[in-house]
Every structure is written in structure tokens, then in C-alpha cells.
Structure 1
Amino acid sequence: MNNESELIALKNGIISKISHEYRTPLTVIQTSTELLKIYYEIKDKQKFDEAIERINTSIEKMIKFLEDIVLLGKIESKMIDLNYEKVDIFSYIDSIITHYRTSHKNLQKIYYNKSGNNKIFNIELNLINIIFTRLLTNAINFSPKESEIKIEIHTTQDNFTVSIQDEGYGISPDKLENIFNPYKRFLEKDFTDGTGFGLAIVKESVNLMNGEINISSEINIGTTITFSIPDKK
């Protein structure tokens, strides 16, 4: 009976949270649309453009929220096509880090170290992309400017392991306990910085490839997330 009550409470909480998270951007869109008429009539181009930007930001937020829900559902139910391919994992990580260093050059300093003789792995690259880019984006979003982000990759004949360490705000032990639980995580987030489903998507993506993921964190010290993916023989 307790489990049933908890499920009902969880369901009601999720419905309420979704309603709230959609009401906010919809209110922004509604208000900004009304202001557009005023700014157009008085020919205030700057305020007109700012209202357009608020509308676009709110729409993007809603789309991202829906996309994450759909993606998590597909991965959890294993209703996603897995296309394995031979990939030079060092070259792939190099290219992603180069992109992030260029696009975030005024933010954190990203350091990268790689070791191991084997670099060719048979992996699902779409899932690897989801895992690595989301973790690196989190490290950037939750770290102060000018702080350091350290990325290490080590390969063996059977798998490769990636570690991403930041100097961010850290995660409290009570939140760390449910960090990969998408629904409890969703209920406790305020969504100023994401949908709340990101780490659950990462965890389920790792699971689909029979990998492992671990996280450690200290408040005001930083967070380290390590994942390991086997070579599919």
C-alpha cells in the first residue's frame, strides 16, 4: 500500500511539475506577444527584438523539455536503433573538445589527457555523443568562469574509460543519492539550467552499451563523473 501511495504521489507531483514548467514559458510568450504589438506601433526596434528573443528562448526551452522526455522514454524502453561502428575514440574526443574550447573560450579552461595503446572501438556513436556532450556541457554550466575542467581518457584492449572533473558548485549527498533517478530528480529541480532528465539519459545510454558510470562530488569542491564503455566484439 505504501508503494502504491508513493507512486500516486509521484505521478501527481510530476503532473503538477510539468504543468508549472510549461505555464512559465507560455506566460512569457503570451506577455511578449502582447508587447510586440506595442513596440511595433511605437517603432522601438530594440525592445521589439528583445521580445522576439524571449519568445524564441521560451519555445526552445519547451522543445528541449519534450525532446528529453521522448528520448528518455525511448532509451528506457530500448526502443532506439543501435548502430555500432568502428570509431577512433581519441580522434572523436579530440574533435568534441576542440569544438567546446572554441565555443566556450571565455569560460572554463579545459585540459585533456589520453593514455592507452588501443584507440579503435566498436561503439554506438550516437549514444557516446549523448553521454560525452551532456556531461561536458554540465561541467561547463555548473562551474565558475576561469575554473578548470579536466578530461581524461584511458583505453585498454577491452574498453575505454572517460573521466570529467570540474571545479563547480558540487552536489549535496542527499541529491547525489537520486542523481540518476529521472523522476525524483525532475521533482526537485527548478529548471533554470536544464530539464532535469540529462543525467538519467546519460545513465540509460551507458546501460544500453553494457557500460558503467560513477559520480563523486563535494560541495564547493567539484564533481567527477567517470564512465566506462566496453568494445562490442
Structure 2
Amino acid sequence: MKWSLEGKWIAGGFSLTLLIMGLVCVTSYKNTTELIESSDRVQHTYEVLNTLTSFYASMTVAESGRRGYIISGSQQELERHQIAVDKMRYEIQALQKQMSDNAIEQERLARLNAIVTQRLTLFRQSTALYQRDKSAVQAQALITEKSIKLRTEIQSILTEFKAQEERWLRIGVEQSRASMHYRILIEFIGTVLSFAVIFSVYLLLYHQWSQRKKLEFLQQSLAQEQELSDLKSRFFSMVSHEFRTPLSVILVSSQLLGEILQNLVEESHLKNLYRIQSSAKLMNQLLTDILTLSRAEAGKLEYKLELLDVQSLCLNLVEDINFFSQKDHTLKFISQGSCVRVNLDEKLLYSILSNLLLNAIKYSPQGGDIYLILSCEPESTVFLVKDKGIGIHPDDQRQIYEPFYRGQNVDNITGTGLGLAVVKKCLELHQGEIMVESEVGVGTTFTVRIPHQKV
């Protein structure tokens, strides 16, 4: 069954709402589990603190019972002492169980157990000494002094235990509080998101409904624009064909006339004839550029790869331009690297290089050397066109590839602003790139890089 777009929005919104609620439930369950674990940790901490307090009380009672027995000789005090000692041992065992999963506390507990064992040994020695010699006061005093030192160490360890447990207690309480706040926040966010999703689905459906009519209107406009584009392309093709025939006749006739008159009249008298030839060439180039741009914009520009001898093509191009150019320029070709046949469109490549070279000639009014440099790299073919002309202002360098755009410093130099736009379109079909380096009054270098492609 094929769903409509509205049905997909509704199903998607419902699914997303269920997903959000499911995530909220999972988060709440996990948060509740963490609260239970935190509560267990708090309870465990309280039990440890109670055990430590009870142990300290038992230790105090054991010390008090020993002293009472030595002072009074009361058998009841001795029994009280023994009961307290047994209770101390029991509480040490309880602490070992309570701290079995904590390596640091186990190490601290081992120290405590060792010191307690020493102190209990002193208690036994004191009791045995009293039973042998009730008048050994000095020896009892020494035992008591050692016992007090051990008691101080025990108190220090107990203080460490209590500080650690109280710290864990605070952390547990803070975690429980944070978990509760987090749960409330998640549930609130989940509820808000659910309402937001439902409201968003409603808005999207409404937007979809309102956009449907706009889409129909746009489709009609697009069809009209496409028809206009096709009409423009046919018009330019027709104009180009109809204009090129008389232009070719004018150009060929003027060239023949020039050859006939060359030996009959002075060179200065042929000036107007040369102007006719130059204007015919300019109009022919203009028609070619306009036709290329219109076909490129309509997506109908022909692109046919074939194996080309790039070096021979460049030599022929330089020869053609030198033959037709009337200006006093020296056009030089340099080949670098090992150039082999590469897959390129010959017509488009010819258009790229001829436009760049003709621009270099046009914008070098004082003459000078113009270079076409061919460099064949493993992954691409690189062409450099260098001149010493008027240069391009930095503000113009980003816009020079736009149709009909001309730089700020062209002055009275005639031109259409189409050459570089044609170069850009031709390079796009080759997936190539063009870069420019220029300084006003010094010259310009265009670098064209075309990657190698397989047919």
C-alpha cells in the first residue's frame, strides 16, 4: 500500500511520540534503579558508621574494664573487659564484610586490625602481670603508656574511616537528589516534546496543504521558463547560423580583396579593409561565445572526449592566432614535461585557450611577449597563459567569470565580457579549474588545470 505524504507525516509523528515516551520510560526506570542503588549505598554507609561508633565504644569499655580490674581486682570488671574485647573482634569482622569490595578500605582496615591486635596483646599482658604481681605498678604504667599510643593511632584510623564514609554519604545524598531532579526534568522534557511533535505534525500538514497550490503554480512557471529557454537556444542557434554565413562571406571577400590590392596600393590605404576583417572576426567570435553560453545554460553544450595530441593543438592554435592577429605581439609556446595524448574535447579546449590568448593580446596594448605554457602532470594537464598587459584589479578578480562583466581599468579597449564566462563553462564540463594571478600594470597569468579522464 502506497501512503500519501500526509499519512507519512501522521505515522512519523505518532512513531516519534511513541519513541519519546519510550525513551522517557526507559530513562525513568534507569533513574529509579540508580535511586535504589544510591539508597542502598547510603544505608551501607550508615551501617559502617554505626559499626565504627560501636567499635570505638567497645574499645573504650575494654580499656575501662582493664583499668578497673587492675585498680580494684574486681572479677566483674575483668568480665566486662573480656566482653568488650570479644565485641571488638566481632565488630572488626563486621567491618571486613562491609568493606570487602573496597581495596583502599581493606588496606586501612588491615592497619587497624594490626594495631588492635597489638593493643589486645597489651591488655592480656597487663592482666597476666596483675595476676602474677599486683604491686608491679611501674610495669603497668609502661603498658598503659603503650596502650595510649596505640589508642591514638586507632582513633586516627577511625577518624579516616568516618571522614571517608561521611564523604561517600554526602556524595550518595547529592546523587540521589540529582537523580530525582534529572527524572523530573526528563519527564517534563518528554511531555513537552510529545506535545511539540504533535503540534509540529499539525503545522507540517497545514503547510503541506498550503504549499500544494504554490507548487502547482511553480510547476507551471518552470514549464514556461523551460519553454522560454528552449526558444532562446533555438533563436541563438538560428541567429548564429544566419549571421555566420554573411560574416564568412565578408571576411573571405575582404581577405581576397586584400591579397589582390596588396601589390597594387600602399599599405596605409588598406587600413579600412583591415578594419572590416577585424570587425568581422570580432562579430564571429561574439556569436560563437553567445551560442556557447546559451547552450551551456540550457545544458545542451556538446561534450565529446577524444584522444588529443595537446602539444600539436597548442602549436596550431598559436600559429592561427599569429596569422590573424594584427597587433605587434610575440606569442610564444613552451612545453614542459612529457606530454602524451589525453582525453579532452577538442572544440571546447580550443575555445578555452583561444579566448585566453585573445584576451592576453587585447589587454596588452603596448605589445610584448605572451606565453602559452603546456605542462603535463601525472593526474592533470596544465595550461598557463601569461602576459604583461594592464592587469586585473583585485576587486574584479572574483567577478571576471560572470557574463558581460568587465574590469575597472579596461578604459576604451573594446570587448564583450563573454570570453572568460565561456572559458568557465567549458572547464566545468571538463571538471577543471581556472586560477588567476594578476597585478595592475604588471601583467596577468591564468592557470587552467584539467584532470585526466577515461573515455
TM-score interval (norm. to shorter): 0.5 to 0.7
8 A Cα contact 2:379 2:452, kept in partner: yes
- Bigger relative contact order (CA 8 A; separation at least 6): 1
Deviation, 1:55, is: 8.3
Cα distance in 2 between the residues matched to 1:121 and 1:202:
19
List aligned pairs for 1:94-133, cutoff 5 A.
94-104=315-325, 107-133=328-354
Match of 2:426 in 1: 205
Deviation, 1:69, is: 2.6
Cα distance in 2 between the residues matched to 1:126 and 1:150:
21
Deviation, 1:151, is: 1.9
SS of equivalent to 1:193? coil
Match of 1:177 in 2: 398
1:67–1:187 CA distance, 2 compared to 1 (3 A): farther
8 A Cα contact 1:87 1:122, kept in partner: yes
SS of equivalent to 1:110? strand
Note if 1:134 corresponds to 2:355. Answer: yes
Note if 1:87 corresponds to 2:317. Answer: no
8 A Cα contact 1:68 1:195, kept in partner: no
Higher mean C-alpha displacement, 145-154 vs 60-69: 60-69
Match of 1:218 in 2: 439
8 A Cα contact 1:121 1:231, kept in partner: yes
Cα distance in 1 between the residues matched to 2:423 and 2:390:
20
Match of 2:9 in 1: none
Match of 1:229 in 2: 450
1:60–1:215 CA distance, 2 compared to 1 (3 A): same
- The aligned amino acid for 1:164 is V
Cα distance in 1 between the residues matched to 2:396 and 2:370:
22
8 A Cα contact 1:144 1:167, kept in partner: no
Match of 1:148 in 2: 369
Higher mean C-alpha displacement, 73-82 vs 102-111: 102-111
SS of equivalent to 2:416? coil
Deviation, 1:104, is: 3.8
- The aligned amino acid for 2:349 is I
Counting matched residue pairs gives: 184
1:158–1:195 CA distance, 2 compared to 1 (3 A): same
Per-residue CA deviation, residues 4-38 of structure 1 (Å, 9 max, x unaligned), is xxxxxxxxxxxxxxxxxxxxxxxxxxxxxxxxxxx
8 A Cα contact 2:339 2:375, kept in partner: no
Cα distance in 2 between the residues matched to 1:102 and 1:62:
18
Match of 2:416 in 1: 195
1:115–1:173 CA distance, 2 compared to 1 (3 A): same
Query: TM-score normalized by structure 1?
Result: 0.68
Query: TM-score normalized by structure 2?
Result: 0.36
Instruction: Extract unaligned runs of 5+ from structure 2.
Output: 1-269
- The aligned amino acid for 2:314 is I
**Aligned-pair Cα RMSD in Å:** 3.1
Deviation, 1:95, is: 1.5
SS of equivalent to 1:117? coil
Deviation, 1:217, is: 1.0
Cα distance in 1 between the residues matched to 2:275 and 2:317:
29
Match of 2:291 in 1: 70
1:179–1:68 CA distance, 2 compared to 1 (3 A): same
SS of equivalent to 2:358? helix
List aligned pairs for 1:11-30, cutoff 5 A.
none
Deviation, 1:84, is: 1.2
Give the structure with the higher percent helix.
2
- The aligned amino acid for 1:193 is T
Match of 1:31 in 2: none
Deviation, 1:61, is: 5.7
SS of equivalent to 2:375? strand
Cα distance in 2 between the residues matched to 1:116 and 1:94:
16
Instruction: Extract unaligned runs of 5+ from structure 1.
Output: 1-48
- The aligned amino acid for 2:355 is R
Deviation, 1:190, is: 7.8
Cα distance in 2 between the residues matched to 1:87 and 1:97:
16
- The aligned amino acid for 1:150 is Y
- The aligned amino acid for 1:117 is S
Cα distance in 2 between the residues matched to 1:95 and 1:87:
13
